[in-house]
C-alpha cells in the first residue's frame, strides 16, 4: 500500500501512517507543513508530500 508514491491518501490514512490524531493531521495540512489539496470538502494528500515531511523532520 505505502510503496506507490504517486497515489493519494485520505486524512484517516495520513493518521495511520504518521501515528497521529486527526486534530494534529488537520493542523499539519492547514499550516502547509504537508502539501495537500481539497476536492469539495475531502482532503487529498500525495504520498510524496508525506515522504517529504518525514524527511524534513529527520533533518531537523
Distance CA 9, CA 53 (A): 14
Contact 35, 41 (CB under 8 A): no
Helix, strand, coil distribution of the chain in percent, nearest 5: 50, 15, 30
Question: Residue 38: helix, strand or coil by DSSP?
Answer: strand
Taking only the tens place, the pLDDT of each residue in 20-49 is: 999 999 999 999 999 999 999 999 999 999
Q: What is the DSSP letter of 9?
A: E
- pTM, entire model: 0.83
- Looking up cell 508514491 gives 5
Amino acid at each position: 500500500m505505502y510503496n506507490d508514491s504517486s497515489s493519494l491518501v485520505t486524512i484517516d490514512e495520513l493518521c495511520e501512517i504518521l501515528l497521529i490524531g486527526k486534530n494534529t493531521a488537520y493542523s499539519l495540512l492547514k499550516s502547509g507543513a504537508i502539501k495537500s489539496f481539497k476536492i469539495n470538502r475531502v482532503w487529498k494528500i500525495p504520498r510524496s508530500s508525506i515522504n517529504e515531511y518525514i524527511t524534513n523532520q529527520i533533518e531537523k
